[in-house]
A = this chain, B = another copy of it.
Amino acid sequence: MRVRGDVAYDGAPFHGFAVNEGVPTVAGLLNGALSRVLRSDVAVTCAGRTDRGVHAVGQVVSFDLPDDVDLSRGLESVRHAVNRQVGPSVVVTGLSVVDDGFDARFSATGRTYRYRILDRPDGDPFTATRAWHVPEALDVAAMEAAASLLVGQHDFSSFCRRPLPRPDGTEASLVRRVTGASFRRVADGLSGVELLEFEVSASAFCHQMVRSIVGTLVAVGRGRMEASSMPDVLAARDRHAAGEPAPSHGLTFWSVDYP
């Protein structure tokens, strides 16, 4: 039996999503709680492995259960029991039985991330673990122009950590299709602080791609790079051509699309 879980988490207390023995991880916490509640060994697969400090509002996981697992209490009661164990940093927002062919990672056709920037001289206590504080004024129009040049299908080698070669020695492709990349102003309704929010959607992202894109766009906003240089940065297929990755704590994995 295949189960889908929808999960939100504050990334601050975790060393990333993926299980890493000896340190707290989102998958480690989820696997433990699901296994205890369901009395069956559970190992989740996720739509996007987030790095240390990265948050999620709409992460999706999938896992298998033996057909003889007792679900007579219903999945909602399983969900509440799991949430009592993983909260408040993690919350399972949905749990449902899905088709055997569903895989949180391989079935996904699109992913969306949001990155928050506090672009004012003063810091803010309430968004300190959720937004990157950039004290300088940023040229947002230039950042928007640069972002629009990244939309489309490109080789994003300049914006990604190079993956390990495959077992057969070939290199994984870093070609990705970015379907949207734009900025808007959002208010933190609880403190009244206004932030600059970048939203980017793609078929899939390679490792550190969003943070490298944001770091590059902020370099443009600071006047250190030209917006019009984006095609050259892409063509270089060299990480040194792009800006430094933005810090992880500004990044939130927002949503996943499935057919």
Contact = CB atoms under 8 A, between A and B. Distances in A.
A83 interface: yes
Contacts of A121: 80
Interface in A64-90: 80, 83, 87-90
B90 A125 contact: yes
Contact of A190 (B90, B91, B93, B188): B188
Given A10-B128, A80-B121, A91-B125, 14 more contacts: A8-B124, A9-B125, A10-B125, A10-B126, A55-B126, A57-B191, A87-B128, A88-B124, A89-B125, A89-B128, A130-B190, A186-B190, A188-B189, A188-B190
Contact of A186 (B87, B93, B123, B189): B189
Q: Which of A55, A87, A90, A125 has the most CB of B within 10 A?
A: A125
* Closest 5 A/B residue pairs (Cβ): A88-B128, A10-B125, A186-B189, A87-B123, A187-B189
Interface of A: 8-10, 55, 57, 80, 83, 87-91, 93, 116, 121-128, 130-131, 133, 186-192, 195, 252
A130 B188 CA distance: 12
Contacts of A89: 125, 128
Nearest to A191: B57
B88 A123 contact: yes
A38 B198 CA distance: 39
Contacts of A188: 188-190
A191 B55 CA distance: 10
